[in-house]
Amino acid sequence: MHDKADKNQKVDKKDYKKIALRLLKYLFAEWKLFILGLTLVVLSSVLVLFGPKLSGAAIASLESSDLQTIDLNVTAKYSILMLAAYLLSSLFNYISARVMVRVSEKVVLTMTQETFDKIVDVPIAYIDTHQAGDLVSRISYDMDLVANTLSNSVITIITSVISVVGSFIMMLTISSSLALIFVFILPITILFTNYRIKKTRPLFSTRSRKLGEMNGFVEEILSGQKTIQAYEKEDYFSQEFYKKNSESIDAYYNADYEASINFPTMIFITNTSIAIVSIIASLLYLNGLFTLAFLSAFIMYARQFSFPINNIAGTFAELQSSFSAANRIFVLLDQDNEKADADHAIELSDVEGDVEFKSVSFGYDDDKMIIKDFNYHAKPGSLTAIVGHTGAGKTTLINLLMRFYDPQEGDIKIDGHSYKDITRKSQRSAFAMVLQETWLFAGTIRENIAYGKPDASDEEIRKAAEMANISSFIDLQEDGYETILEEDAENLSQGQKQLLTIARAMLLNKPMLILDEATSNVDSRTEIQTQDAMNKLMKGKTSFVIAHRLSTIKNADTILVLDAGEIIEQGNHQELLEKKGHYYDLYNSQFLKEQ
């Protein structure tokens, strides 16, 4: 599913039915608790229906007797039974609410886990085309709305339906002619509700989408906070956020404003119907055609019939919001995972590191090729440096090597095997990566180094740290390798972060290596340490290095100069300088800057 379809998908009536059925499947996975909650809701609703009947019986016991023959015991009996019915109903309702909250928790736990698992399983192409904040919004805000529906709306709807049907049956037993008045009112209510649903449905879809966009913007800004302050762009981004926030608030207002009309209108319709029925019933009573007991019971049932309809109308607004949120979650869950490996795909083993690109062409969009007819052969243990201006296709080559994307044309062979004949997992596990963006998580230094090899021994971890020139820094810490890194490792310098990621790659000791501008964010002194660590890391491995600092790749076996996805120059450092071509100009421009 394409990004546009994902973001702009509208929820129509058929979608609501599918969403409701899909949510019910999650509920039925917890069928024991769900049935218990449902049973308690039914019992609670049925008990409430006895209230007006018992109230009428109590009044009848007074009405049918004169003051001397009134039997207060009969009146008390019916009053106590009525009180017991309402108390039991409240108790069952309380327990059912607790049960349904538990069901909701279990369902949301399952859905949240599935959503997170989907996020880590979808192709990189999907992640690249969606803001992180929007995805986070689906697993947090949207999931909260779904949880609210499951725990509250389900009970409200079930209770209301039973109350409406039961009250109408009870009214028929008292006076079928008066009950028929509600037969005419009910279609008006249904038609009005259906009209309002159609009116508000797209507004709630827009509301969820706009919130996701705003969250994505906030996440983007937070990740670049230092740059924003350094360039004094706080006011600019504040204005941009104001626009996003205004759009989100407008979407909220439009949805809630339209939804807010429903409940008062339904109240007016039902109150009008009750007033009409009360007037007619009172006239019948005054003419001796209706007893006071029947009048009281009928009016109470009329209220029990009418107000649940109001509750349902109010619940529809919540349901539309929740269904729109659930739809965003299900759209994500329905995304295709990475393409399955071919049936004949093999597991790479005893990798030597022979890599060959054969007439490879690739573009993130089919109509715009970034890599064009690319041919190159890296021999085992060789060091290949890739240089070029931004947009030349350097990182794209790495994405192809790691099978984050597959080329539209051509072939990539590893040890003579086509990428089509190799499992993605085994191809990726043959590489270690050190990226410009150092990713470290909140945990100990030990855990971060051993991320790719969690069963590594203390000796192996220490050796990797020593080879990465970071062990002395770790030893100076009060807790050594058990030192806790803050989120995003904010308590470390950029150079220390980079050396830790190199130690992580050292520990993996894979036959092939990718270094993506690993020294571009460190100072000159740290660069020497980092370069020394990288030289140790690359020894004996087939290595691909993307570098902006050309001084770090003088010892590369082959330097590829890319421009618009094509190799325009190829050779070692000295050969390319002697050609006095594009590389020569790049190198000298950097050398002059560094002077």
Task: Give the CATH number, domain containing residue 212.
Answer: 1.20.1560.10
**181 band by pLDDT with thresholds 50, 70 and 90:** confident
Which of the given ranges, 238-242, 299-303, 412-416, 487-491, has the highest pLDDT on average? 412-416
Residue-wise pLDDT tens digits, 470-515 = 888 888 888 889 988 876 666 777 788 888 888 888 888 889 988 8
> Is 69 contained in some domain?
no
Task: Give the CATH number, domain containing residue 443.
Answer: 3.40.50.300
Q: Given 465, 482, 509, which residue is the final one in a domain?
A: 509
pTM (2 decimals)?
0.69
Q: Are residues 358 and 421 in the same domain?
A: yes
Q: Are residues 230 and 110 in the same domain?
A: yes
CB atoms under 10 Å from CB of 232, counted, come to 8
Range list of β-strands (E), 363-507: 371-378, 383-388, 409-414, 417-418, 431-435, 443-444, 484-485
> Is 84 contained in some domain?
no
Is a pLDDT exceeding 80 seen at residue 316?
no
Is a pLDDT exceeding 80 seen at residue 311?
no
Q: What is the mean pLDDT of the chain?
A: 81
Q: Are residues 262 and 328 in the same domain?
A: yes
pLDDT at 229: 66
Q: Given 274, 301, 333, which residue is the final one in a domain?
A: 333
Which of the given ranges, 15-24, 67-76, 196-205, 325-334, has the highest pLDDT on average? 325-334
Q: Are residues 212 and 313 in the same domain?
A: yes
Q: Are residues 239 and 315 in the same domain?
A: yes
Is a pLDDT exceeding 60 seen at residue 64?
no
pLDDT at 356: 93
Q: Are residues 456 and 503 in the same domain?
A: yes
**240 band by pLDDT with thresholds 50, 70 and 90:** confident
> Is 503 contained in some domain?
yes
pLDDT at 293: 79
Q: Where is average pLDDT lowest: 164-173, 262-271, 335-344, 465-474?
A: 262-271
CB atoms under 10 Å from CB of 246, counted, come to 12
Higher pLDDT, 63 or 417: 417
> Is 357 contained in some domain?
yes
Residue-wise pLDDT tens digits, 156-172 = 888 888 888 888 888 88
Q: Given 300, 333, 366, which residue is the final one in a domain?
A: 333
In the beta sheet, which residues pair with residue 386? 546, 560
Q: Are residues 244 and 232 in the same domain?
A: yes
pLDDT at 303: 79
Phi, psi of 438 (to 5 degrees): -75, 120
Domain that holds residue 460: 437-509
Is a pLDDT exceeding 80 seen at residue 464?
yes
> Is 540 contained in some domain?
no
Q: Are residues 288 and 425 in the same domain?
A: no
CB atoms under 10 Å from CB of 155, counted, come to 23
Residue-wise pLDDT tens digits, 435-456 = 777 778 888 889 989 988 888 8
Is a pLDDT exceeding 50 seen at residue 32?
yes
Give me 470's structure tokens: 């970071």
> Is 407 contained in some domain?
yes
pLDDT at 3: 46
Q: Are residues 25 and 155 in the same domain?
A: yes
Q: Are residues 157 and 234 in the same domain?
A: yes
Q: Are residues 117 and 194 in the same domain?
A: yes
pLDDT at 70: 61
Split into its structural domains, the chain has a count of 3
pLDDT at 2: 42
Q: Are residues 426 and 302 in the same domain?
A: no
Average pLDDT over residues 177-190: 74
Find out whether 112 and 138 touch, Cβ atoms under 8 Å.
no
Is a pLDDT exceeding 50 seen at residue 1?
no
Closest CA relative to residue 554, chosen from 571, 536, 568: 571
Average pLDDT over residues 424-442: 84
Find out whether 110 and 23 touch, Cβ atoms under 8 Å.
no
Find out whether 464 and 457 touch, Cβ atoms under 8 Å.
no
H or E stretch covering 414: strand 409-414
